[in-house]
Structure formats: C-alpha cells, structure tokens
Structure 1
Amino acid sequence: MTLLDVFLLLLALAVVMAIVANNIRIVPEYQRLVVLRLGRVVKVAGPGLVILIPFIDKGIPVDLREQYIEVTKQTCITKDNAPVDIDFLIYFRVMDPKKSVVEVSDFRGAAVGIATTTLRAVVGDIDLDQVLAKREYINEVLREKLDEVTARWGVKVTAVEIREILPPREVQEAMIKQMAAERNRRAMVTEADGRREAAIRVAQGEKEALILKAEGEKQAAILRAEGERQAAILRAEGEAAALREIDDAARTLDSRTLLLQYFTMLRDVASAPSTKIVVPLEVFRLLKPFEAHLEKVTRAEESE
C-alpha cells in the first residue's frame, strides 16, 4: 500500500466520521428535535440521543423554555390625538414543536408585527390619561390577541408587559407640575394633620390635668370636711363631758353653797371701780334661808 493509498483511506475515514458525528445529536431536556425526512416531518425526537440518516434526515432544534421578544419603542396616536412612545416585552413558550416549524417561518417577526398592530388599535381607542392609567388593561388585551393568533403556530403567549410609556414633552412637564402640586398639597395636609394632632394632644393633656386637679381638690375637700367633722365630734364630746361634770357637781351643791358662790362672784365683779351692780329680786328670796339660819345661830348664842 502506497503512501497515497494510506492518505486516501484516512481521508475517507475522516469524512465518514464527520458525517456520522453530524447526524448523531444529543438533545437536552429543554429542547426537542423536529426530524424532517426528505422534507416531510416524520417525528419530534428528544430528549436524549437522536441518530439521523445522513443526507436524508434533517433535524431542527426547538427550544421549549419560556422566551421573550423585546419590542422597541412604537409611536401610537391616542383617541385625543396625543402621540405616545411605548415599548414592551412579549413572553412566550413553544407548546407544539412541529407546528412551530411547519406553520410559521419567522415566529418572532410575526409576533412583533401582530403586537404592534394590536397596540396601535388599542391605544387609538382610548385617551392619553387612560393610556397612562390602564397599563394592565393594555397588557391583557395584547396578550389575548397574540395568544389567539399564535395558538395555530403551536406557541403560547404567557404575558405581555409594557415597560415604558412616554407621552409628549409638554404633557410630561404638565405631569411634573401636577406631581409637584400634589406633593405640596400632601405636605400641607400632613402638616395640618400634625398640628391638629398636637392641638388634640395638648387639649387632652390640659383636660387630664384639670381632671386630676379637680380630683385632688375633691379629695382635699373631703379630707378637710372629714377633719372638721372629727373635730366637731371631739368638741361636742368635750362639751358634753364638761356639761356632765358640771351637772354632777351642781347636784352636790345646796342653796347655801350656791348663794355663797353667788356672793363671791358679785364681790369679784364689784371690785372694779366703774362697775354698777343691779341686784335682782330673786337674790333676796335666796337670802331668806340664810337670814333664818342667822336668827337660829343668834338665839342659840343668847341662850348660852
């Protein structure tokens, strides 16, 4: 075997190995391989090892994971003739690999075209204020419309998310002024609420202080009244005891002793030079027993 024969043999082996390697595919879990044999779909293979017939079979990989399409800014005209720029994302997942290969040649381009047309139609039916406020509504309308169209392509649109809505510059400036005015209003309301709460707290504190003061005065008055009552009781008890002692002492005195006490009192009163004494008639009645006693004493002395 000549050197040329060896070279040709090695070349043939390399070509065969390249052909075999090109027709042996390892399909991962998140992919499927749509196999076309002589231009006709014969199966959807995978995951795992897939062997194709050289020059007859053709394998087209299809990703089953959720993917997204980024739609650049689209200028739309609202119902009140205001231009707005909107960009959004389309999230989708291939549900039928065979249909995604056979039914549509460029799914991404077709989805962007349908989404753009639907977006302009939806925005054209509502005013600018509603476009800014109804973002979720626009998302849902776009998703439903896209899902309805892409279902025949074996693709499921899972979500549509608007990322940014840019109104005209003059509208943005007006919105900024409105936001500033709203912030000022909220600040004023917050300040007024704070003052009101502070006034309420001060009034509440003054009220509680007055209540406590009145309660203290009430307790003090009660204590003073209780003390005065106890003092009055003690004074009354003392006076009653004194009266009882006087009454007991008076019961032991006879008319003579009383008369002597009376004269002693008159003597003390008459000791003052400017004092005039008026003697009532009852005094003379009191003197009769004393006079009778003196007469008895005189007669007794004379008889001796």
Structure 2
Amino acid sequence: MQSALLSLICLVFILIILLVLILSAIRVVREYERLVVFRLGKAIGSKGPGVVFLIPIVDQPVKVDLREQFQEIPHQTCITKDNVTISVDFLIYSKVVEAVASVVQVGNFTGASQGIATTTLRAVIGDIILDDVLAQREHINTVLRTKLDEVTERWGVKVTAVEIREIVPPRDIQEAMTRQMSAERSRRAVVTEADGKRQAAITVADGDKQAVILRSEGERQARILQAEGYSLALQTIFNVARNIDSKTLSLQYMDTLKQLGASPSTKYIFPMEFTNLVQGLTQFIQQASSEGSTDASMVQVANSSGTVQPPTIEQGPPSGAGTGVSQTGE
C-alpha cells in the first residue's frame, strides 16, 4: 500500500516536471520583440515573432526589445573653443536593428551609450565657439548623431536622433547676453522707426510730386485749350475780315473818328494814312452819288464841293511812331 502511494507521488512529481519543461519550451514572442537563443552557451540566432519552441535546459533565451528607446543624458560640463564653460543636457533616441549583436557585442548598452555620448559631446563642443553653440543646435545634433551612430553600429544599435535640450552658460555670460539682446532690440527699434519715417517721407514726397505733375498737366491742358480758343477766335476774325472791302473799312474808320470827335478831350491823334483815307472816302461818295445809292445830304455835299478837303494834319518827324498829332485849345 505504501509502495503504491509512493509510486503515485513520484508519477505526479514527474508529470509536474514534464509539464513545467514543456511550458518552458514554448514561448510567445510579440511583434516588437525577438528571442536570442543560446544553445549550450552558443548563440544560434534570434527567433520570433510568434510561437517559439525551445529545448528545455539546453536552450537559454534572451528577450530583446526592438522598439525605439530614448535615453536622457544628465547635464554635462563642456568647454567651448573660446574657453567658456557651459552645461549641456540632451536626449538620445535609438533602436536595436540586430538583436544578436546587441546581446553579444555589448553588455550594458545604456551605460556604454551614455559614456560614448558624453565624450562625443565634449569633443564636438570643444571645436565650436559659444555663439555657434547657441546658434547651431541642429548642426551639433547632426554631428553627435553621426558620430554616435558610427560607434553603436557594431553593437547592432541605430541612433535615430540626438536632441540637445538645454544649454546653460555661466551667469556672467547670461547677463552679458541679456544686455546684448536688449541693445540689439533697441537698435532694431530705432532702425524700424527710422525706416518708417523714411517710408513716410518718401510717400509724402511722391504725393507732392504727383500733385505737382497733375497741377502742371492741368495748367498745360488749360493753356492748350486757351491757345486753341484764341487761335480759333483769330481764325474767325481773319475769315470775317478777309471779306471786308476798303469801303466798309473806311466807313468804320469814319465812325470811329466821329466817336473821337464827340469826346470832350481837345487832343486828337490821327494816323499818317488819314489823308489817303479821306481821299478814298471821297471817291466812294462820288461813286455812290453817281449811282444814286447815297442819300440827299451826301449827294449835296459831293456836288457842292466836288472834293473833300482833309483836315489839317500835323505830321510828326519821320523818325516817329507813324502818327500825326493835331491839337486845339480848350
């Protein structure tokens, strides 16, 4: 009885051991994971994803995460090319691309990557002056990523990005930078104000120029129109005067003399051609009398005298302005 019970217990124990071994031989590997299998201490490769069968006791798996990881590097003291001490902290983004190499080639990737990142950062910062360190973060990130990737490539790790998070210069440098920034902003404000005034002056000058141009253009058009009107008036007068004969002109001349005679003034100015005018008028009256087209008084004057004696004309010297003067007392 006791031997049967002991046999049953041994059988159950063996079944439990077999079950544990079977369960340990079956592994489920996720999509972002790989199993690096060591068989009797020798790496035989990586397996997964999915269900992976292992030989119990003989195979020893090591799980590797293939997802991108980030590592925060604490503040590191660096000296720039112009001997300024600064504190820099940054982030490293990396992922495993070869699972076997990441397990076999490096024991502690986190510590190794932090050490190589620190030394690389100090080497890069040491070749750059402070102003370039502050202004060329993207360039420093690229250089760091390239140099880190060259080292970590043999570890089966790919450095995807390096981002500098903060650069802290000494306090006196910060104060000097603050003063410089304030002065630069003041300069920009003055330049902006001067540019605004210059643009305003240019705009006003352009407006004045356009106003002067428009005013001159208006005056020119007005003068052109005035000249055209005057020319048209002269042309009209010329056309009318061209049709006036000497007889009509003589009558108009006599009418003008009549108006002058009605003036209370005792001083008269007669043109030098007055004698010729009177002679022409006399001939006109005689011709009109012979044709019967003049009135009775004009015929009587023509018949009684026969000729019309011109008034006494006082002729000026030849060098005069072509006028004769006759003056009587008041």
- Please indicate the TM-score interval, normalised by the length of the shorter structure: 0.7 to 0.9
Residue equivalent to 2:155: 153
Match of 1:93 among 87, 92, 95: 95
Residues 43 and 242 of structure 1: is their aligned pair in 2 closer, same or farther, counting only changes over 3 Å? same
Q: Distance in 2 between matches of 1:230 and 1:164?
A: 88
1:213 to 209, 212, 215: 215
How far is the alpha carbon of 1:190 from its aligned partner? Answer: 1.1
Partner of 1:279: 309
Aligned to 1:32, the other structure's residue is in SS state: strand
Which amino acid in the other structure matches residue 83 of structure 1? T
After the TM superposition, which residues 258-273 of structure 1 pair with which residues of structure 2 at under 5 Å, given as runs? 264=298
TM-score for both structures, normalised by structure 1: 0.75
Shift of 1:246: 3.6
Residues 215 and 262 of structure 1: CA distance in aligned 2, closer, same or farther (over 3 Å): farther
Aligned positions of 1:163-242 closer than 5 A: 163-242=165-244
Q: Distance in 1 between matches of 2:8 and 2:201?
A: 106
Q: Which residue of 1 aligns with 2:289?
A: 257
Shift of 1:73: 0.9
Q: 1:119 is paired with a residue of what secondary structure?
A: helix
Aligned length: 270
Q: Offset at 1:264?
A: 4.6
Structure 2: gaps (5+ residues): 252-280, 302-307, 312-330
Overall identity of the aligned pairs, in %: 53
| 1:256 to 1:119, Cα distance in 2 relative to 1, 3 A | closer
Worse overlay, 255-264 or 16-25: 255-264
Instruction: Tell me which residue corresponds to 2:325.
Output: none
Instruction: Deviation per CA, 1:189-239: give whole Å up to 9, x if none.
Output: 111111111111111111111111111111111111111111112222222
CA shift, 1:109, in A, is 0.7
Residue number among 127, 130, 135 corresponding to 1:128 in the alignment: 130
Segment drifting more, 225-234 vs 123-132: 123-132
State the Cα distance separating 1:104 from its structure 2 match: 0.8
Give the C-alpha shift of residue 257 in structure 1: 2.0
Unaligned runs of 5+ in 1: 268-277, 282-304
Root-mean-square deviation over aligned CA pairs: 3.6
Q: Identify if the C-alpha distance between structure 1 residues 256 and 201 changes in structure 2 by more than 3 Å, giving closer, same or farther.
A: closer
Q: Give, as a single letter, the amino acid of the residue that structure 2 aligns with 1:63.
A: D
Alignment of structure 1 residues 50-89 onto 2, 5 Å? 50-89=52-91
Deviation at 1:245, TM superposition (A): 8.2
Normalising by structure 2, we get a TM-score of: 0.70
1:134-156 CA distances to partner (integer Å, 9 max, x unpaired)? 43343333223322222221122
Give, as a single letter, the amino acid of the residue that structure 2 aligns with 1:279.
Answer: Q
